[in-house]
Chains A and B, each alone.
Chain A
Amino acid sequence: MIFQRTPVFTFLIFCLVFTPAFLKAQGNHCAVKKSPFRISMDSGKVVYAKQCLACHQADGLGVPNMNPPLNGKDVLGDKSKLIEIVIKGLIAHQEIDGQAYQNVMPAHPEMKDSQIADVLTYIRNSFGNKASSVKLSEVKSTRSKLK
């Protein structure tokens, strides 16, 4: 009969008991091994919600005439320029992708270098964007050149 204690049956019981535990261990293992890019994206999303979303909006597309969208060449291009804008801000009439906006971009003296790297990596890889990550070393390097 099938319910007899055959080696096959024993094996099935073994699988039933230990598989969930095994999978759970695997899951934890995966979390620990999250890629540096994924870590930066997750952290950047939190920073974006706190520092950027109020003006640039949840979809990153800004507000017409008021706050620029974050999907143009200036955001996806030169990283040092982008880092400088986050650190020092931008006065209202300075153009983004050839368009002037009414509102200022405030400076962010309180933001850590790692937060700037993460949020810029997040912006450059969200809202339909795909561009290289911004590294902590790049933020440090740009900051050291700013007065």
Chain B
Amino acid sequence: MKQSNKLIYFLLLVVTACHASDSVNPLLSDTIHLTSPKPDVSLTLPGGFTATLFADGLGKARHIVVTPNGYVYVKIDGTRNGKGIVRLKDTNGDGVADQEIDFGNFKGIGIGIKNGYLYASSDVDVYRFKLNEDGSVINPDQPERIITGLIARFMHQGKSFAFDNDGNIYVNVGAFSNSCQVADRQAGSPGMNPCPVLDSAASIYIFRADKQNQTYADGIKYVTGLRNVVGIDWNNTTNTLFVMQHGRDQLNMFPQYYDDKQSAELPAECMYELHKGDDAGWPYMYYDQVQGKKMLAPEYGGDGKKTGGEHAIDPVVAFPGHLAPNALLFYTGNQFPEKYKNGAFITFHGSWNRAPEPQAGFYVVFVPFSNGKPSGKWEIFADGFSGGPDKTASGRAIHRPCGLAQGPDGSLYITDDNKGSIWRITYK
């Protein structure tokens, strides 16, 4: 009897001990040991830069963030082993991830770190997870819900976000329409006036970053008239928010004014610097980067010649049409040459709306900045994601660059949401 009592006591101790260690680090039990990724394209970069494939096969890998001690968090717009956030770590320092942990029960696109918390968005909510000193998530199963009930109507439903340094979070609520026509994407259909989509979407909203369960009523519409923003970053030089807008599609729904070639090249994909109360003009206008003018949209009486958007802000940089900017990152690291300091990296996911003309994009560009303003022409920084010119032209790219993050050593991480690859770009 005594003997069996001792055994039960011992077993209880073991079970309790296991539980205790689980609650200290519940993630470690789910660690996946990764094998080396297999490169299937060759990226081209400026001289001195090297691209290393950090991980692959992650699925729809969207935005990404790296902690000071090298934990790499990736938001999956789907599921990865049933979860929506992937944490990667290169534990042996060979530049390739060898350890993976998955958590978070929601798909979505946005992820970021501020003041000791990891923030991640679903298409309707924003959550945050408290981080340990070492950058690991303390309680992966119980995030705090910070914002809830944001509009998600299938089109442009991803909630990308950024932070300022005053405790605020800026969240994109994309337009659930291409150009606010009475009948979305129908040839010749006129625009609704006023556009009701602007009531609760096509805007950047500002919320407190530390308050739970905020809804529209708790937020402020910071800037309106933005069709959809995926690339978003706070610029610490200017202390302002910068965004990349996905411009409207299908100007050739009005073939009397736009041929296929014009519809492929127009309108511009615009970078905007935002201030509270700004209006970027969607859907009433678009920016024509060839003429360098704000134009009246054809749904509202435009004909490719009439200007419009008198009260709308001007873009900081205007890129060719339909390239689909999916991340914006101001580089503040010391690893890259001086020219890159405080400049902007942008991923262009690649077009579909240029057909029947050849598709374009599928690259990462760089815009040099000086004193918070562009100081030179934009240039292609990293190319070759698609796997070749024929795959770019057809749009059947092998990889589509999506998210961007800066590592603690100043290296640049790039995600791909087609095959779920992550590259790490270094300079020597």
- A residues with a Cβ closer than 8 A to B are 49, 53-55, 57-59, 61, 63-64, 66-67, 89, 92-93, 100-104, 106-107, 110
Contact = CB atoms under 8 A, between A and B. Distances in A.
A66 B352 contact: yes
Interface in B201-228: none
B157 A54 contact: no
Most chain A CB within a 10 A radius of its CB, from B156, B252, B352: B352
Contact of A53 (B153, B156, B355): B355
Contacts of B355: 53-55, 57-58
B418 interface: yes
Nearest to A56: B355
A102 B184 contact: no
Contacts of A59: 394, 396
A59 to B, nearest CB: 7
B183 A107 contact: yes
A106 B183 contact: yes
Contacts of A61: 396
The binding surface of chain B is classed by DSSP as loop
For chain B, the bracket of interface size reads 20 to 34
A107 B157 CA distance: 23
Contacts of B184: 104, 106
26 contacts: A49-B356, A53-B356, A54-B250, A54-B356, A55-B185, A55-B355, A57-B394, A58-B356, A59-B396, A61-B396, A63-B352, A64-B418, A66-B352, A67-B352, A89-B183, A92-B153, A92-B155, A92-B176, A100-B154, A102-B154, A102-B156, A103-B155, A103-B178, A103-B185, A106-B183, A106-B186
A53 B252 CA distance: 12
Given A53-B356, A63-B352, A64-B418, A106 B185 contact: yes
Interface of A is mostly: loop
Contacts of B396: 59, 61
A54 B155 contact: no
Contacts of B186: 89, 106-107
Given A59-B396, A92-B154, A93-B154, A54 B187 contact: no
Contacts of B187: 106, 110
B235 interface: no
B326 interface: no
Contacts of A64: 418
A54 B263 CA distance: 10
A60 to B, nearest CB: 11
A102 B155 contact: yes
B395 interface: yes
A61 B355 CA distance: 13
B415 interface: no
Contacts of A92: 153-155, 176
Can you list the 9 inter-chain pairs with the closest CB atoms, starting with the nearest? A92-B154, A106-B186, A63-B352, A106-B185, A102-B155, A104-B184, A93-B154, A102-B154, A54-B355
Interface in B24-67: none
Contacts of A93: 154
A67 B351 CA distance: 13
A57 B183 contact: no
A59 B355 CA distance: 11
Interface string B181-195: 001111101000000
Given A63-B352, A66-B352, A67-B352, 19 more contacts: A49-B356, A53-B355, A55-B352, A55-B355, A57-B394, A57-B395, A58-B355, A59-B394, A89-B183, A92-B176, A100-B154, A101-B154, A102-B154, A103-B185, A104-B155, A104-B184, A104-B185, A106-B187, A107-B183
